[in-house]
Amino acid sequence: MRILVTGGTGYIGSHTVVALLEAGHHVISVDNLSNSEASVNERITDIVGHGPSFFEVDLCDQVRLREVFEKVGPIDGVIHFAAFKAVGESVAQPLRYYQNNVNGLLSLLECMTDFGVGQLVFSSSCTVYGTPEQLPVTEQAPLRPAQSPYGATKQMGEQIIGDWVRANPNARALLLRYFNPIGAHPSGKIGEWPRGVPNNLVPFITQTAAGLRERLQIFGSDYPTPDGTCIRDYIHVCDLADTHVLGLSRLSHLLPGGQVRALNIGTGSGTSVLEAVLAFEKVNGVPVPRAFAPRREGDVVQIWADATTAMEALQWTPRFSLEDAMQTAWLWEKNLRNHT
């Protein structure tokens, strides 16, 4: 298939581009490079042997986006990642998040409609569940008030896509609500590459282990959890990438036209922040200096997935463990420091 991937040089996007190329698809990648580097495409080429067709485009610039649709010819499906994604930053800069995440999606859907592209896989998030009443979280759990503007943009995105699909009988969409992606490609050639201070746990762990940060701050030590730290469902980014490839390839079998479906993508088990840090230290033999800090606004206390529906629908099971993720993240960090 000919697949358009938005946010294709980002963390999850780049791993999905690799998986798509390895599965034999032709990939058109667009990214505005606001939180990634164009050199990621060279790294993808190093892994696969060839890379995607890449265009530096901001989705909110619909004129430029339309030029891409016109230039590349027929597109069979779209995987939409491009969005700002930091919970804390969204609390501090809500208008920026609404402007980028919502308007970018609207622009993309308008182009898809005008060019007759009806298959979409959307990068959603477990943040749509807010603070869940029951664990593990199933797809039937109510969407509770978002804890952050970032979470609100994902809820809005799902609503917009649902309305769009129902108005277009030839359209269908998967909403992949994933939990906490971590790790890097086993080659060590691509991984999470944050600009400035990382917002996610694992790159902060690896940068601290590498001596770039004085210590890791663990936000909150007094949560009602076994060790007082937040609990998350950490899934290896390559497992997450696989679900997008499977989701798009199986979309017409999973859904009739005019329908949308949400799937939880996770491992089905929760790991505390402290347990994740200790797993990194154990598997890599590297200490991570750390200190506890006050709770961070917008954080959910604990959440993990019931992913059985996704595993059945996509005929998928995760291949990588928490330890695998920590090993690959450290390999990526070391390679990144040696080549930049």
d(CA 143, CA 128): 6
d(CA 13, CA 27): 11
**CA distances (Å), 283 to each of 238, 324, 327, 330, in order?**
19, 9, 7, 10
d(CA 300, CA 63): 38
Nearest alpha carbon to residue 12 among 40, 39, 45, 47: 40
Q: Is 222 exposed, middle or buried (0-12, 13-18, 19+ CB in 10 A)?
A: exposed
d(CA 299, CA 276): 17
150 is catalytic: yes
Q: Residue 175: beta bridge partners? A: 122, 262
Place of tokens 């080429």: 45
Instruction: Find the helix or strand (DSSP H, E) in which 4 lies.
Output: strand 2-6
Per the document, the length of the chain is 340
The pair of three-digit structure tokens given for residue 114, joined into one six-digit string? 């005008």
Give the single-character DSSP code of 102. Answer: I
Write the DSSP assignment of 239-286 as a string of letters.
HHHHHHHHHHHTHHHH--TTEEEEEEES-S--EEHHHHHHHHHHHH--
Catalytic residue among 11, 97, 150, 223: 150
Question: Between β-strands 77-80 and 53-56, what pairing exists: parallel, antiparallel or unpaired?
Answer: unpaired
Nearest alpha carbon to residue 124 among 163, 81, 92, 86: 81
Catalytic residues: 150
